[in-house]
Amino acid sequence: MKIAVASGKGGTGKTTVTASLMSIWPSPAAAVDLDVEEPNLHLFLNPEITETIPATLEIPVVDEDKCTYCRKCSTLCQFKAISVFGEVVLTFPEMCHGCGGCMMICPEGAVSAGKRQLGEISVGTALGLPFLMGRLRVGEAMSPPLMRSVLAALETRVDTTAQDIIIDAPPGVSCPAVTAVMDCDVVILVTEPTPFGVYDLKLAHEAFSKLGKPMGVVVNRAGIGDDAVYAFCRGSNLPILAEIPYDRRIATAYSQGKIVADVSDTIRETFASLAEKARRMGHSEEERCHA
């Protein structure tokens, strides 16, 4: 099963939860960091990287000797990545989304595939388990295509039917977060009991409900703020799977790059129970899908 650890608001503890779950997961699992803009999971899992793969996007390259300036490509392109002015064709590679439409529609076969560097995919092992991450090239605007490349690499390197996949998702509720959660069986939403936390949890709940994903909540830094997050979860039938107390020892361990589940036996048990609940949700979802 695939489990995404997501949140609307950034900095609620997605990476903390993912790293801790990896450290106590009771069956074989692989970790995937899909927060490609700011990947942090490796800072806590310290993977040994054995392979680095450049990720690219196919962009148009025009052979002007063949081009008849018919404008079919520029009329089709929705992203203003290719333009024809009189007898000049201009391409804007950084605008291209990689749909391939210009290459398919050109009647002269004048448009071929070039490459734009999106970033890189790192593959290795952490805690003796498979680890994958994407890292967006600084200056590149589009993260979803790189995320899709990481997921494609996962399929070729890990038997995803034989082991569980735990995904550290990016924050927010738009395309990058949706891309990360899209093919998951269960979404763990990490939040904090503050006005910002609950507002962004509502947004995440709305976004991922549209995708039909079963969700549960982890309340991090429990004890700060107010009770609104609990009221919202009750009212929305969102199960609270775990509460991680606000504790200076946890904050300090995190600031030292340590796995939070290692702080104490009680916290380790909290994560073990979270893993159990998430697995149960995933299994019933898998049964529902196969039924």
Partner 1 sequence: MPEILVISGKGGTGKTSLTAAFCHLADQPVICDLDVDAPDLHLLLQPKTITSQDFISGNEAVVQAENCSHCGTCIDVCNWGAISDTGPFVVVNPYKCEGCKVCVQFCPEEAIDFPAKNCGQWYLSETRFGPLVHAQLIPAEENSGKLVALLKKEAKTLAKEKNAPLILSDGPPGIGCPVISALSGADLAVLVTEPTPSGIHDLKRVLELCEHFSTPTVVIINKADLNPDQADAIEDFCGEKGRRVIARLPHDAAMTEAMVHGKTITEFRSCELSTQLKSAWEEIKLLAGLEVKSPAGPATERSGANNLSMLENKINYI
Residues binding partner 1 (CB under 8 A)? 8-12, 15, 37-38, 40, 43-44, 76, 78-80, 92, 94-95, 97-101, 104-105, 136, 138-143, 170-178, 182, 194-196, 199-200, 203-204, 206-208, 210-211, 224-226, 251-252, 254-257
Can you tell me which residue has the tokens 């982890």? 218
Output the DSSP codes for 132-144.
EEEEEPTT----H
CA separation, residue 136 to residues 8, 100, 119, 133, 146 (Å): 20, 22, 4, 10, 7
CA 56 to chain centre: 18
CB of residue 276 vs partner 1: minimum separation in angstroms?
27
Shortest distance in whole angstroms from residue 206 CB to partner 1: 4
Minimum CB separation of residue 258 from partner 1 in Å reads 10
By C-beta, is 38 or 269 nearer to partner 1? 38
The smaller minimum CB distance to partner 1, of residues 66 and 249, is found at 249
For the CB of residue 50, give the shortest distance to partner 1 in the complex, in Å: 21
Q: Output the smallest distance, CB 81 to partner 1, in A.
A: 8
Q: How far is the CB of 144 from partner 1 (least distance, A)?
A: 9
**How far apart, in whole angstroms, are the C-alpha atoms of residue 157 and residue 151?**
10
The residue among 88 and 104 lying less far from partner 1, judged by its C-beta, is 104
Which of helix, strand or coil describes residue 126? strand
Contact residues for 92 (Cβ-Cβ < 8 A; gap 6+):
80, 81, 82, 83
CA 111 – CA 73 distance, rounded (Å): 9
Q: Cβ of residue 112: shortest distance to partner 1, in angstroms? A: 16
Q: Decide whether 48 or 210 has the Cβ nearer to partner 1.
A: 210
Nearer to partner 1, 43 or 276 (CB): 43
Strand order across the 111-126 sheet: 48-62, 111-126, 129-136, 29-33, 164-168, 2-6, 186-191, 215-222, 240-245
Of 211, 231, 32, the closest CA to residue 134 belongs to: 32
- Strand duo 111-126 + 129-136: pairing: antiparallel
Which lies closer to partner 1 via its Cβ, residue 130 or residue 170? 170
Cβ closest to partner 1, residue 146 vs residue 280: 146
